Amino acid sequence: MELSNLEALPGRRIVRHLGLVQGSTVRSKHAGKDLLAGLKNFVGGELKAYTELLNESRQEAVARMVKQAQGLGANAVVNIRFSTANIAAGAAEVMAYGTAVTVE
């Protein structure tokens, strides 16, 4: 499966558009890590626990999007975008979406 944030794949020709595909996950923070992150806010710096959580969430959202695209018979997804949203206190959704296509 080829993935691209471009509208087309350079050197490849899109022969069929299969439609929008998406994958999402909703994750919450671990209470212990949240406490440590709160303390880090006083000193500044990267909140590594949150960075890891978002990286894992993006990977899971992309995997679900790819699975949906494969179900449609796609061999590529183009114009991929990511979106995040707060769902509830301490929980966020990460969504990956794009256009499933068949390329030659």
- What is the reported pLDDT for 42? 58
Cβ atoms of residues 98 and 80 within 8 Å: yes
d(CA 7, CA 76) in angstroms, rounded, equals: 11
The CATH class of 2-28+57-103 is: alpha beta
Element (H, E) at 11: none
| Segments making up each domain of the chain, as ranges | 2-28+57-103
Q: What is the pLDDT of residues 83-93, one digit of tens each?
A: 999 888 778 89
Q: What is the pLDDT of residues 34-49, one digit of tens each?
A: 555 555 555 667 777 7
The pTM of this model reads 0.84
